Structure 1
Amino acid sequence: MDLADVAHELYALPLAEFTAARNARAKRARSEGQPLLAKQIAKLPKPSTAAWAVNVLARRRREELGQVLDLGASLREAQEGLDPAAMRALGRERSRLLAAVVRDGREAAGELGVKVSDAAAEEMEQTLHAAMADPEAADAVRSGLLVRTLTGSGFEPVDLAGAVAVPGALPEPASPPPAQQRPARGAEPEGTETPRTQRADADAEARARDRAQREAEQREAEESKRREREQAETDLADAEQGLAESEAELAEAQAQADTASARRNEIADELDRLRRRIDELEEDLAAAEREGAHADRARRLASRLAEQGRRAVQRARDRLAQLP
């Protein structure tokens, strides 16, 4: 199992379970003799709430998400073909579909016990909007591995730096065909005058692009600050989790040390008791030996006296036998 496989497992979990599961998975990789993989797993960042909710869409509402991304491809085609009518129609459909899919994402997140705030829902919509405008951003959203939300104006590539947990898990972007091989839909032959209405639409589109560019720059600045804040919050949560695990390991080690110390003291007390008992037994043995020696002397004396008594009895019997 490689890093991408582990990441797909972790980013599919409920948000509250991510940090503990990541740390446990890194610990397991170390125990299995995979220190590099363990280090890579430990560095996987916890996703923001909005990014996690988009990942939920990629896994639990894949069909609805596909409709959004397919509509984005159609919009890009209409823009490349300078088809204002199609762009207006698709733009209206985009607003309706984005709102519906964001509602689906909030509902799916709620099924997993996470309430997505209105602010996070806006970030979800910005991310989907960016994915509609940029094929590479669409691949990032489809991956289900987002760690932060995306923003994009539609005129510049979406910044994906640090947005995907395992960038190598995304497909390589396809190179667009040369411009001369991609004639714009509805383009007039060279030398044909553009109608006035088409020029007006082009001017309106240009103004809209400028306005969108300014709004995108403002959103990007706000997004950058938000990402920094979320990263700091994630780092704090990870540090607190690491501290909690370290303190738990310390408590376990202290309990083991206390148990070993109590056992050592118990054995030492038992040894002291046995030593005192040995001293007592040695004293008893010495006393018994003294008593034995005394008894032995008394036995020898009694034996001599008994022998003397036997001889006296025999002499008396002899004298008695000699009398008439």
Structure 2
Amino acid sequence: MQREGGRGRDTGEHDVEPVESVLDELYATPPSDFVARREEHAAAARTDGRKEDARAIHAARRPTPAAWAANLLRRSRPEESRRFLELGQALREAHRTLDAAGLKELSAQRRHIVSALSRQAAQLAREAGHQLSQAAQQEVESTLRAVLADPDAADQWAGGRLAGSLTPPSEFPSDTAPAEPAPRELPRPDTRRRTPADRGRDELAERRRKRREELVRAEQAAEKAARQLADRRAEEADAEASLRRTDEEHDRAREEVSAAERRLGQAHEELDRAERERRKAEERRRAAAGALSRAEREARETAREVDRLAGRVR
């Protein structure tokens, strides 16, 4: 039976699980169990002769805790996730059309919903037996802000298979630094005299603008560092899991070698015992052969003596 998508086949003994279903299951699996489950599915695909499926499964990257929580939120709260994606579309449209009233209302919704959904993601993670760190929860919020701001990020999150957290684009207003009109967006003629107070306000506005830019850059750098840290931790966890598997295989091989050595020692003992028994049997055979020869000789001599005596009697 040909499997959906034309990849793989049914052996006739069991139904072949589609790769897409396997990947969906993997990215809903807690990160601590991800590698083991991935290798089980990849091994099953290789056993079935589905090499392409096995490669696709093995290539799946282990999600960070924050990415897993975001995936869990997407799959466990489908209706709320749909409304969140729709909010992102409306918010991006408001930015494109410069609808100030709509933008103000949607921005307030954005901050409220991002906060609420990030708390839901943390709650879902706790219910699954995993407590999110503060840094991981911040990564969830970063991912949700990116989903609102970036259509590509929205598509990635909608698929439910994030391996790492997402970062909002720099041109999208940050929740921590609401957008304000730039003090000198366009040059305009000034028909009145500039007072020291005017210049002071302009300087203050310029300093605020620079501080906002520095804050945005610092937030982006912090989020990037957090993603890199999470990636390194995931790589370390994968390496540790691989080392544990290798240690287990080494221990099993060592036990098998020890058992083989014990069996070899027992076989040598059996061989030595058989050799000793063989030598004893050979000695008994030689002794019996010697006794037989002596008995035959005595029988011949006795027979000759009988013949000799019988001749005298006749």
TM-score by length of 2: 0.74
Look up the SS of the partner of 2:231 in the other structure: helix
Tell me, yes or no, if structure 1 residue 137 matches structure 2 residue 153: yes
> What is the CA-CA distance between 1:140 and the residue it aligns to?
0.8
Query: Residue 296 of structure 2 aligns to a residue in which SS?
Result: helix
Alignment check: 8 A CA contact 2:150 2:169 kept:
no
CA distance in 2, matches of 1:132, 1:90: 11
Counterparts of 1:182-193 in structure 2 under 5 Å?
Answer: none
Structure 2 equivalent of residue 55 of structure 1: 71
Mapped to 1, the partners of 2:226 and 2:139 lie a distance apart of 11
Summarize deviations over 1:144-185 as a string: whole Å, max 9, x none. 1111111214736xxxxxxxxxxxxxxxxxxxxxxxxxxxxx
Q: For 2:120, which of 100, 104, 107 is the aligned residue?
A: 104
Superposed displacement of residue 3, structure 1? 6.0
Equivalent residue, structure 2, for 1:295: 295
Q: Offset of 1:306 from its aligned partner?
A: 4.8
In structure 1, what is the Cα distance between the partners aligned to 2:32 and 2:269?
Answer: 50
Report the counterpart of residue 217 of structure 2 in structure 1: 217
Residues in 2 aligned to 1:45 and 1:243: alpha-carbon distance in whole angstroms: 18
Q: How many angstroms apart in 1 are the aligned matches of 2:114 and 2:248?
A: 45
**2:70 and 2:140 in contact (8 A); partners too:** yes
Q: TM-score, length-normalised on structure 1?
A: 0.72
> Hey, what does 2:80 align to over in structure 1?
64
Task: Work out the CA distance in 2 between the residues paired with 1:8 and 1:209.
Answer: 44
| Distance in 2 between residues matched to 1:145 and 1:88, nearest whole Å | 32
Larger Rg: 1
> Percent identity of the aligned residues?
33
Report the RMSD for the aligned CA atoms in angstroms: 3.1
Aligned partners of 2:42 and 2:54 also within 8 Å: yes
Does structure 2 conserve the Cα–Cα contact (< 8 Å) formed by 1:56 and 1:105? yes
SS at match of 1:152: coil
Give the Å deviation of 1:298. Answer: 2.5
Q: Is the 8 A contact 2:164 2:231 kept in 1?
A: no
8 Å CA contact retained: 2:71, 2:160: yes
Alpha-carbon separation, structure 1, partners of 2:209 and 2:120: 29
- Could you tell me how far 1:284 is from its partner in structure 2? 0.8
Distance 1:219 1:258, change over 3 A: same
Give the alignment partner of residue 124 of structure 1, picking from 108, 127, 140. 140
Match of 1:229 in 2: 229
Question: How far did residue 282 of structure 1 move?
Answer: 1.2
What letter corresponds to residue 292 of structure 1 in structure 2? Answer: L
**Alignment partner for residue 83 of structure 1, among 88, 99, 102?**
99
Q: Deviations over 1:97-151 (max 9, x none)?
A: 2222222212211221111233322221221111111221111111111111112
Q: Which residue of 1 aligns with 2:13?
A: none
Distance 1:81 1:11, change over 3 A: same
Contact 1:76 1:133 in 2 (8 A): yes
3-state SS of 1:116 partner: coil
Partner of 2:189: none
Q: Equivalents in 1 of 2:164, 2:53: separation in Å? A: 22
Q: 1:224 to 1:103 in 2, by over 3 A?
A: closer
> Does 1:94 find its partner at 2:94?
no
Alpha carbons of 1:95 and 1:152: their partners in 2 closer, same or farther (altered >3 Å)?
A: same
- Taking the aligned partners of 1:9 and 1:88, their CA distance within structure 2 comes to 39
Q: 1:12 to 1:84 in 2, by over 3 A?
A: same
Q: Report what 1:275 is aligned to.
A: 275
Aligned 8 A contact 1:151 1:219 in 2: no
Counting matched residue pairs gives 270
The alpha carbon displacement at 1:52 in A equals 0.8
Instruction: Give the match's secondary structure for 1:144.
Output: coil
**Residue pairs, 1:17-56, within 5 angstroms:** 17-33=33-49, 38-56=54-72
Counterpart-to-counterpart distance in 1, 2:62 and 2:95: 36
The secondary structure found in structure 1 opposite 2:280 is helix
Deviations 1:22-64 (A, max 9, x none): 2333444444555565455444332111111000011111111
Q: CA deviation at 1:228?
A: 2.0
Q: Deviations over 1:177-213 (max 9, x none)?
A: xxxxxxxxxxxxxxxxxxxxxxxx8669x89998765
Where structure 1 has 5 or more consecutive residues not aligned to the other structure, the ranges are 157-200, 316-324
- Residue 130 of structure 1 contacts residue 153 of structure 1 at CA under 8 Å; is this kept in 2? yes
Question: Take 1:37 and 1:5, find their aligned partners in 2: how far apart are those partners?
Answer: 12
Q: What letter corresponds to residue 57 of structure 1 in structure 2?
A: L
